[in-house]
Structure 1
Amino acid sequence: MRRWLALALAFTLAASLRSQEENPAAAPAEEAAAPEFKARPVQNLLEAQVELHRRGFSCGSIDGVRGAQTAAALKAFQRSLGLRESGELDRATREALVLDEEPLGEHTLTAEELASLHPVPDTWVGKSELERLGYATAIELVAERHRANPKLLRQLNPDVNWDDLLPGAVLKVPNVGTVILDVRAALLHVRLAERELNVTDADGKIVAHFPVSIAKMAEKRPVGQLTIKVVIPDPNYTFDPAVFPESAEAQTLDHKLILPPGPNNPVGVAWIGLDRPGYGIHGTPEPEKVGRTESHGCFRLANWDARTLLALVEVGMPVIVEP
């Protein structure tokens, strides 16, 4: 009897193992499931940058390096919580920046993404002749989708040839995703000297922070109170040769050009028009230059920050600009 039971048990175990080999889905769930992420404070500057972005406090391109924009984002975040404004990743700030999910994730390139890549012409006329000013390269696409500095992407993916990628390529990226803030904005506050734009609620609390470029010429920097007049996602752009006298190509043109929408449009993926003709808050196709180079007069943000801001503002909202 015992020998029969032993044989029956062995037969049942063998059948179960065969079933799991033929149908992996039949394996015990605890073996297939990934370990659950346990919430914890950030451990380093890269993780802090990721979590700051998730909360609407942008430090520009995520690169894991402490620079002026990261320090400004930390100060704004600390101010929002009433912490000491050190601009450093001190103990109190680390404890407040708690990760609810992995700081790094993956991006799997699709055939559609790769097929959409198209070189961006160097000339204004060439740009105006395209149907869309989309991404030019795979690294540009992935960097902007995940708010990452291209240098960081190369560090995270040392064996990747970015010029020869196929559909299905899996890339390691900052795990930020689309930032949707559950806040009610009441005022935009641009600080020219600090080159930053803060969003505050009705109580004056900072609920979002972005680096911003300002006009190169001081006389073109509006100071005082302005008002939002129009909010446009994915705008086209009217190129007026008269506004660009420094451009050799502009000097040869006798008419305006309409440039199509897209992330490589001169105003990026968002236009927030102000009540001063020609002035607005908008995106840019060169996020690494935000806050480091000047504009013709508008306030320029990285495209990902412009998208986040677009969802917070409305027509009639005041904008305070201080020196």
Structure 2
Amino acid sequence: MLTSTRFRFAAAALAIAVSAPLAANAGPYDRGGMVLVTTDGRLMRDMPEYGSVRVVIDTQGRRLLIDRSNTVIGFEIPAWQYRQQSGGPEIDRDRGWSQDRDYDGGLGRETFPAAPPPPRDRFATAEPRTDFEPRASIERRDLNPSTGTVPERGNAPRIIEAPDLETRPDNQGTAGEPSKPFAAPRLGKAEVAALQVYLDRNGFSPGVIDGRMGSNVQKALAAWREATGERIDPTDTDLILSRLAADGGLAFTTYTITAEDAAGPFIASVPADYAEKAKLERLAFTSTQEMLAERFHMDERYLKELNPGVDFSRPGVQIKVVSTGEKKSGIVTRIIADKARKQLRAYDAAGQLVAAYPATIGSSSTPSPTGEVTIERIARNPGYTYNPKINFKQGDNDRILEVPPGPNGPVGSVWIALSKPTYGIHGTPEPSKIGKTSSNGCVRLTNWDAEELAGMVAPGVSVSFVE
């Protein structure tokens, strides 16, 4: 199971095509500190014509140029590497690379000029090439996953810098205007979900696991880097799979629906009106499908997509789900609720970032607190008291209402009360909207993230709201 899955992901990572070609017109190649080299080692001084090539990334993190016949015609390498291998002259300074370089063990970081170089005429005649140009020692590789010779990574793959976005001139702009970025290489949903599972298991929540490389995943990756100093390349699926296998197993597993799962109890729907909510005995899940999606930290639509045609209400049915692993543990002594980033970050006594969660934090009409408050108490499976004189007013509801508890209640499955009255950190009935909508002033997390955080905090923990 592990071998076949690793091969599938490795093959996907072997050559990930960028949907757009390199540049709008042939012209000098300028991507800070990098040069293009042909497969026999010659320097490619000009960009290939628009539409004639595409960019792929191999398992070593190299950018390769592939023509329409799927043949590798060149590589992108650091300028310092070309100079070192070829023994040739320094690259022209007006191409945007510094002659002063710092060799850093192979990462290829360059010293950039203080100001951007003047724009070059991309319609100018290219510099002539000769057979006397120095050649870099670049070995051509077959990219076919079945016959290719690109080596597999070792047991401890190296974490590489995530590749920068390709750029091309804006056809409707003028010389010197900023270039527009291409889309980053697109990963399949299974690869993205594997990354999401890895982050989720380690306390750097991507929110719902949905196989999409959205803003919540990007925030989780940034938090991971802050905590560990590592920048994970999302395309390095060998690394992600090897770490998953070593800590909790593969990203996906099978689950058999039980009679207890199918029995509920469930409610027909979740009313929007608070007066109608208050009439219910419990704000339970609406279906087995919704319950299982939340149990496995998944977007409900993604769960359904992984199990087409499945009747989730039938006991004994096997389904494919995410393997979430154990909850993060530890002692959190300080929390930062970052309004701009839409993320809650938790730190230990040593100041180490130990967990991060996407969050919905207030709105312009009902802003969250400012400054510093503290945690006062923690309530699991909480009810909710609606009081229009203290909080907000919903429609014609002008009296106090006691809304019953449940995962689909206004504050979800956990309430972490703050020292500022009526404010707290809590769960949500709509996990897929976390970090993408507004709240009534509180800090809203997915239910599973709120439950995980509740297990690491205690009364007295400070919570700082930052803009």
TM-score for the superposition, normalised by structure 1: 0.79
Who is 1:120 aligned against? 269
Match of residue 133 from structure 1: 283
Distance 1:121 1:58 in 2: 26
In structure 2, give the amino acid aligned to 1:49: Q
* Cα 1:263–1:37 shift into 2, 3 Å: farther
- CA–CA separation in structure 1 for the residues paired with 2:277 and 2:224: 39
Q: Deviations over 1:118-145 (max 9, x none)?
A: 2234232332222221101122111100
Q: Which has the higher contact order (CA 8 A, sep 6+)?
A: 1
The offset of 1:158, in angstroms, is 1.5
**After the TM superposition, which of the residue ranges 208-217 and 36-45 deviates more from structure 2?**
36-45
- Corresponding residue to 1:268 among 391, 412, 418: 412
Q: 1:224 to 1:244 in 2, by over 3 A?
A: closer
Q: Report the residue type matching 2:410 in the other structure.
A: P
Partner of residue 158 from structure 1, selected from 273, 283, 308: 308
Distance 1:89 1:234, change over 3 A: farther
SS at match of 2:357: strand
From 426, 433, 436, the equivalent of 1:282 is 426
Which SS does the other structure have where 2:360 is aligned? coil
2:412–2:447 Cα contact (<8 Å) kept:
yes
Report what 1:58 is aligned to.
205
Is residue 286 of structure 2 the alignment partner of residue 142 of structure 1?
A: no
Q: Which residue of 1 aligns with 2:333?
A: 186
Residues 57-104 of structure 1, C-alpha deviations (whole Å, 9 max, x = no match): 1101101111110011011112211124x7855589748944331211
Cα distance between partner residues in 2 of 1:44 and 1:191: 29
Unmatched 5+ residue regions in structure 1? 1-33
- Tell whether the 8 Å contact from 2:270 to 2:408 is kept in structure 1 after alignment: no
Residue number in structure 2 paired with 1:168: 316
The aligned residue for residue 110 of structure 2 is: none
Once the two structures are TM-superposed, the CA of residue 217 in structure 1 deviates from its matched residue by 1.7
Among residues 255, 263, 286, which one is paired with 1:107 in the alignment? 255
Rounded to whole Å, the distance in 2 between the matches of 1:74 and 1:210 is 11
Superposition RMSD in Å: 2.8
In structure 1, what is the Cα distance between the partners aligned to 2:2 and 2:442?
Answer: 47
Q: Secondary structure of 2:417's match? A: strand
Count of aligned pairs: 282
CA-to-partner distance for each residue in 1:194-232, whole Å, 9 max, x for gaps? Answer: 000011111211111100001112772222111001111
Contact 1:41 1:98 in 2 (8 A): no
Contact 1:120 1:127 survives alignment (8 Å): no
What code does the residue aligned with 2:414 have?
A: A
Q: Are residue 80 (structure 1) and residue 227 (structure 2) matched?
A: yes
Tell me whether 1:203 sits opposite 2:353 in the alignment. Answer: no
Find the partner of 2:401 among 242, 245, 257.
Answer: 257
Matches within 5 A, 1:229-240: 229-240=376-387
Partner of 1:300: 444
Contact in 2 for aligned 1:106/1:171 (Cα 8 Å): yes
Contact 1:227–1:319, Cα closer than 8 Å, also in 2: yes
Cα separation, partners in 2 of 1:238 and 1:205, compared to 1, 3 Å? same
- Please tell me whether the aligned partners of residues 48 and 97 of structure 1 are also in contact (alpha carbons under 8 angstroms): no
SS at match of 2:221: helix
Hey, what does 1:241 align to over in structure 2? 388
Larger Rg: 2
CA distance in 2, matches of 1:38, 1:90: 14
Please list the CA deviations of residues 297-319 of structure 1 after superposition, one character each: whole Å capped at 9, or x if unmatched.
Answer: 00000111111011011000011
Do the aligned partners of residues 225 and 140 (structure 1) sit closer, same or farther apart at CA in structure 2, a change above 3 Å counting? same
Distance 1:189 1:231, change over 3 A: same
- Assess, with a 3 A threshold, how the Cα gap between structure 1 residues 222 and 248 changes in structure 2: closer, same or farther: closer
Instruction: Report how far residue 38 of structure 1 moved.
Output: 11
Deviates further, 182-191 or 271-280: 182-191
State the one-letter code of the partner of 2:317. Answer: A
Provide the rounded CA distance (Å) in 2 between the counterparts of 1:211 and 1:41. Answer: 30
Mapped contact 2:270–2:286 kept (Cα < 8 A): no
CA distance in 2 between partners of 1:244 and 1:46 (Å):
37
Question: Structure 2 unaligned runs (5+)?
Answer: 7-154, 158-189
Check conservation: 1:120, 1:133, Cα contact below 8 A. Answer: no
Q: Percent identity?
A: 35
- AA aligned to 2:459 is V
